[in-house]
Chain A
Amino acid sequence: DAGVTQSPTHLIKTRGQQVTLRCSPKSGHDTVSWYQQALGQGPQFIFQYYEEEERQRGNFPDRFSGHQFPNYSSELNVNALLLGDSALYLCASNRGQGIYEQYFGPGTRLTVT
């Protein structure tokens, strides 16, 4: 049973560029959430997708956007990258919209120079 997978593992971008991160949820899961984890901090909720719609959003600017596909996989897009966007981006999945534990992928380490 494949767990949550994310790609790429590492990414280096220049300030002002755009980036797309990808996530495939755990088998049987239909809800995908994205988190940003700055160095030495706990993960911060970016947004959650269910039925191809953004259901909830954390305190992140509109530069952060996402998408969910019919196969439940998801993308996170960040435009106009800032140095402060450097972080580990974690994708998590769960089934349905109740309070279920979320299963995390290994993350994508984004470095903005």
Chain B
Amino acid sequence: GDSVTQMEGPVTLSEEAFLTINCTYTATGYPSLFWYVQYPGEGLQLLLKATKADDKGSNKGFEATYRKETTSFHLEKGSVQVSDSAVYFCALSAHILTGGGNKLTFGTGTQLKVEL
């Protein structure tokens, strides 16, 4: 079945440091890939997405490129801020062949802590 593997956290960085959170996936067919962010006590917010190979999703300084050859979708940001502290989830969505619809399969999440 479909699965997503993320690097374990917590990841602790100083403000303005470079961020990489690794994500690899296993899926049949050609899934869409997403990064969601969850701030403490809140639900999930879509951060960025990519729907086909070599697509680059970007938002709020974060970016990730859909790499089909390495089945990866690593999240990067050039200069993190304290306000970026949250849990980041990599997810994939593959169209369900029978019955239609789609579902998200999530990784276990990576907690990011940014310190001054």
Contacts and interface: CB of A to CB of B under 8 A. Distances in A.
A61 interface: no
Interface in A64-113: 90, 92, 94, 97-107
B101 A48 contact: yes
A31 B104 CA distance: 13
B43 A105 contact: yes
Nearest to B92: A99
B44 A43 contact: yes
B49 A107 contact: no
Interface residues of B, number: 29
B93 interface: yes
Contacts of A35: 104
Interface stretch (B11-19, B69-77, B106-114): B106-114
B82 interface: no
B interface secondary structure, majority: strand
Contact of A50 (B36, B44, B101): B101
B94 A99 contact: yes
A101 B104 CA distance: 9
A16 to B, nearest CB: 28
A108 to B, nearest CB: 10
A92 B79 CA distance: 30
B32 A99 contact: yes
B105 A106 contact: no
Contacts of B94: 99
A58 B103 CA distance: 9
B46 A41 contact: no
A24 interface: no
A98 B43 contact: no
A42 B96 contact: no
Nearest to B42: A106
Given A99-B95, A100-B102, A104-B43, 12 more contacts: A40-B109, A42-B109, A45-B104, A50-B100, A50-B101, A55-B99, A92-B44, A97-B102, A98-B95, A102-B46, A104-B36, A104-B45
Interface of B: 4, 31-32, 34, 36, 42-46, 49, 51, 89, 91, 93-96, 99-109
